Copies of this chain bind each other. A is one copy, B any other.
Amino acid sequence: MPPTGSPRHEAICRAALEVVAEDGYDRMSMDAVAARARASKATIYRHWAGKRDLVLDALHLRGPSCVVVPDTGTLRGDILATLGMVDTGTMREDMLLVSGVLRALAGVPEIADAVREQILEAKRDLSRTLVSRAVARGEVPPDADPDVFHVVAPALVFFRVTVLGQPVDEEFLTYVTDDVLIPLLTRQRPVPARAEQKESA
């Protein structure tokens, strides 16, 4: 049995997440994980009771998915660079993983919690970093919503790729940046009473 943290243990966990990303949690088989990790199924079952336990363990071992926001010197540059990472590295893996566990998100609460905490919540800081830098540069008002990037950007990208099946190409990134995110971040927000009196414009 591979002790926690051993190379063998890590290889199995990594294989499990790859299989989830490719086949989806529902279709994931221990055979596929075993084959990919070059381990026997007996070895896997000695350590994990089933795929739920294995995937959970793998998510925890992987840890929160931190992404460093490129510091390009402008809000527009930072946004484009951050969104551009969706097609590569960790961000791409994250998105495939979220797609892979999508149905499990509704039915397996522990997996849903782990994914939301380690993949989605972990990116809230990214949004805040991006906004606070822009505030410091004077590009956006000090009361700009620090979470708007976090709420809007992943949703647009996820819907585009998963539902519309369209590429995260330059046209899309430019649209999201110039026609959605920058206008939302740079707008002058009305003073508090907003909710009641919307008709001011």
Contacts and interface: CB of A to CB of B under 8 A. Distances in A.
Contacts of A106: 165
Interface in A76-98: 76, 98
A183 to B, nearest CB: 5
A123 to B, nearest CB: 12
Interface string A127-155: 00000000000011000010010011011
A42 interface: no
Q: Chain A binding site: helix, strand, loop or mixed by DSSP?
A: helix
Interface stretch (A6-14, A57-65, A170-178): A170-178
Q: 5 nearest interchain CB pairs?
A: A155-B159, A155-B155, A76-B198, A155-B156, A186-B201
